């Protein structure tokens, strides 16, 4: 189980990325939103999409590669 966070800052392509705790690219506390504890990044991405339906959500390439789509 990992704690997952949503980056408040959008990437150049407009995505907001979901990161697992301990990720090298995890934004500082002021730039992230706690999503919860999940067994897989797919559940964290679904939670982010549920909370922020108008945002383009993507998994981090480095810590949530299974959920990285763009």
pLDDT digits (tens, 9 = 90+) for 7-16: 999 999 999 9
Distance CA 50, CA 29 (A): 21
70 falls in which pLDDT band (50, 70, 90)?
A: confident
pLDDT of residue 41: 97
Q: Which two tokens stand for residue 6?
A: 């949503």
63 falls in which pLDDT band (50, 70, 90)?
A: very high
pTM: 0.94
Nearest to 6 by CA among 47, 40, 66: 47
pLDDT of residue 69: 87
Identify whether the C-beta of residue 49 lies closer than 8 Å to the C-beta of residue 58.
no
* Span 47-59, average pLDDT: 95
- If one counts every other C-beta atom within 10 angstroms of the C-beta of residue 4, the result is 30
């Amino acid at each position: 189980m990992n704690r997952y966070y949503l980056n408040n800052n959008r990437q150049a392509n407009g995505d907001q990325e979901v990161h697992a705790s301990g990720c090298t690219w995890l934004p500082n506390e002021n730039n992230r939103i706690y999503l919860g504890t999940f067994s897989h990044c797919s559940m964290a991405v679904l939670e982010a999409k549920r909370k922020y339906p108008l945002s383009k959500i993507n998994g981090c390439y480095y810590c949530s590669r299974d959920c990285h789509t763009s």
